[in-house]
Amino acid sequence: MRKIALFAAAAGAALTLAACSEKTEDAAATAAESAVNDTEANMEAAGDAVADTAADTANAVEAGAENAAAEADDAAATVEADAQDETAAEAKAD
C-alpha cells in the first residue's frame, strides 16, 4: 500500500511539474513573440523617421538651389546693367 501511495504522489508531482513547464513554455513563447512584434514596430518607425528626414532634406536642398539660382540671376542682371548703363530690370528683360 505504501508503494502505491508513494507512486501516486510521485505521479502527481510529475504531472504538476509537466503542467508548470508547459505554462512556462507558453509564457516564454508569448514573450518572444511580443519582443519580435515590438522590434518590428520600432524598425518601421525608424524607417519612417529616416524617410521623413530624407524628404525634408531634399526639400531644403531644392529650396536652397532655387534661392541660389535667383540670387545668381539678380547678380548677373546687376553686372549687365552696370556694363550697359541700364537698370537691372532692363538687363533681366534682355
pLDDT of residue 66: 96
> Concatenated DSSP letters for 19-73?
HHHHHHHHHHHHHHHHHHHHHHHHHHHHHHHHHHHHHHHHHHHHHHHHHHHHHHH
Residue 44 scores a pLDDT above 80? yes
Half-sphere exposure of 91 (CA within 13 A, CB side): 16
In sequence order, which residues have a C-beta less than 8 Å from that of residue 86 and are 6 or more positions away?
A: 80
Least Cα distance to 43 among 33, 32, 55, 35 occurs for 35
Model confidence at 87, pLDDT cuts 50, 70, 90, reads: confident
Q: Over range 51-77, report the average pLDDT.
A: 96
pLDDT of residue 29: 84
pLDDT of residue 10: 56
pLDDT of residue 28: 81
3-class SS at 84? helix
Q: Over range 53-74, report the average pLDDT.
A: 96
Residue 51 scores a pLDDT above 90? yes
